[in-house]
Structure 1
Amino acid sequence: MKKLIINADDFGLSDGCNQGILQGHQEGLISSTTVMMTCPDIEKTIALLRNVDDLGVGVHLCITSGRPLTDGQSFRDKDGSFKKRNTYLHGIDCDNEEVYQEWKAQIDTFIKLAGRMPDHFDSHHHIHLMPRFLGITRKLSQEYNLPLRQEKQVITNQPFVPCFTDFHASNANIETLEKIITMPEETVEIMTHPAFCDQHLCEISSYNTERKTELDFWMNPNTINFLNSHHITITNYTKIAKS
């Protein structure tokens, strides 16, 4: 394995997330991020990413956090926001056409506000990989010609890049990196959630202080030196597409 995509999820979730991801990119190893288009102040959020050199940016598809961009009702709670993740785990009947239109609107809104295409997509709580939504996932990948965070059974027109999804604060260490770089694939994505822990993040996410631990790890000189010593290239989906 020669290349790592270190992708920070949840850009837009809070100011602490945004500033942590940006600093983790500028001073550390974060090479990619995905934006939650359903968060408040999305225009301000997208503006933070303008003129940020060398950071891959994709879309973090949502139907479990924030407020919908479309009029779909099957994923909407009584207060108008998205239903929570547990409702999908317990078999909620969700209209797939409404989900497709909502995710399409999230991608299209990114393109409109950012003035460019996203370089990949994934989703909040891995919702795009639930069996009921795999058809939508494949359709969007083909329609926009975008790579996505995927598992081997998700067949798309994009090359398979495995994602290490078990990285979190409790195993943010060199031993975990040693495990990842021995994976057989040439390129591997690492899913991470770095952030500065602000009050808003604590109010909306149970995974909050741990995000600072992840951020510190990716900015630690020992982490950087370890990857350099093993000749690992830090990359993103934009760079892969150009290679």
Structure 2
Amino acid sequence: MRLIVTADDAGLSEAVDRGIAGAARAGTVTQTTFMVAAAFPDIASAAARIGGMNIPCGVHLQLTTGAPVSAALRDVVGERLPDHAGALRLDPELVRAEWRAQIEAAREAGLAPSHLDTHQGVHRLAAFRHVYFALARDFDLPVRGHDAAFAAEARAGGVAATRHVLTGWTGRRLGRAELLSELETYGGSGGILELVTHPGRVDARLEEMSAWRGRREAELAVLSDPDLRETLRARGIVLGDYGTLAT
């Protein structure tokens, strides 16, 4: 089995970034993904912290949590991104402008994005899926998928995607045994799997921005266990990143 272990939400706060960096040093987390709008306007400082993690970084495209990066969306919603319900009502062309601005801001800050994915999984929605695929083609990047059908749709549109994305472990304060059990469930599914995680430390900025607090530290403890990487290897799980996806 080939597995990408992605730590979402880099750039959300300095403490979250410290946690992701620690999980990366332990060797289990192989990818992260940048919340550009959450870091706005101090994108450069967040990008510098992420660059120090020494793992590939994608762009975690946002419609909630943070500030609009594009003038077009700012003119419509003001200085804060909407809540989830409001985000779902956005015009897809506004979403295209905002997501393009987030990708370009990450690049201007010195990051070379490894892939695209989305905050709260809005790329799975039919209203925004075509925008997601179009931007992936424009920037020649692979994307986070959802399931085999989604990956096939992406391939038909000329975009590489992870075939199975595992989200059942993250955010639930589950332990090592549950993580390994989820991986075992998909052991014979073929293709490259992606395990989504949210390790991090807690600081005032995180408390302001997210309801996911202590659960991030619980995930960090599991992912920082020095024995976990060896356990995965012993089970025939080969860790990789989005560079293993062929377009």
Normalised to the residue count of structure 2, the TM-score between the two structures is: 0.87
Does the CA contact (< 8 Å) of 1:68 and 1:76 recur in 2?
Answer: no
Given candidates 109, 112, 118, the residue that maps to 1:113 is 109
CA shift, 1:190, in A, is 0.5
Q: Which residue is equivalent to 1:22?
A: 21
Q: Which amino acid counterpart does residue 195 of structure 1 have in structure 2?
A: G
Distance 1:120 1:208 in 2: 26
Normalised to the residue count of structure 1, the TM-score between the two structures is: 0.88
Q: Which residue is equivalent to 2:176?
A: 173
Does the CA contact (< 8 Å) of 1:174 and 1:223 recur in 2?
Answer: no
Relative to structure 1, the CA distance from residue 158 to residue 217 in structure 2 (aligned partners, 3 Å threshold; closer, same or farther) is same
Given candidates 88, 92, 99, the residue that maps to 2:95 is 99
By percentage of residues, which structure has more helix?
A: 2
CA shift, 1:239, in A, is 4.2
Relative to structure 1, the CA distance from residue 74 to residue 113 in structure 2 (aligned partners, 3 Å threshold; closer, same or farther) is closer
Given candidates 231, 234, 238, the residue that maps to 2:243 is 238
CA shift, 1:50, in A, is 2.9
CA shift, 1:209, in A, is 0.5
Distance 1:167 1:238 in 2: 24
Unpaired runs of at least 5, structure 2: none
Unpaired runs of at least 5, structure 1: none
For these two proteins, the number of residue pairs brought into alignment is 235
The DSSP-based 3-state class of the residue aligned with 2:150 is coil
The answer to whether 1:36 aligns with 2:38 is no
Q: Which amino acid counterpart does residue 31 of structure 1 have in structure 2?
A: T
CA shift, 1:159, in A, is 3.4
Does the CA contact (< 8 Å) of 1:37 and 1:59 recur in 2?
Answer: yes
CA RMSD of aligned residues (A): 2.1
CA shift, 1:182, in A, is 4.2
Q: Which amino acid counterpart does residue 174 of structure 1 have in structure 2?
A: A
Q: Which residue is equivalent to 1:206?
A: 211
Cα deviation 1:186-242 (Å, max 9, x = unaligned):
320011100012222122211111000101111113422321211311110124459
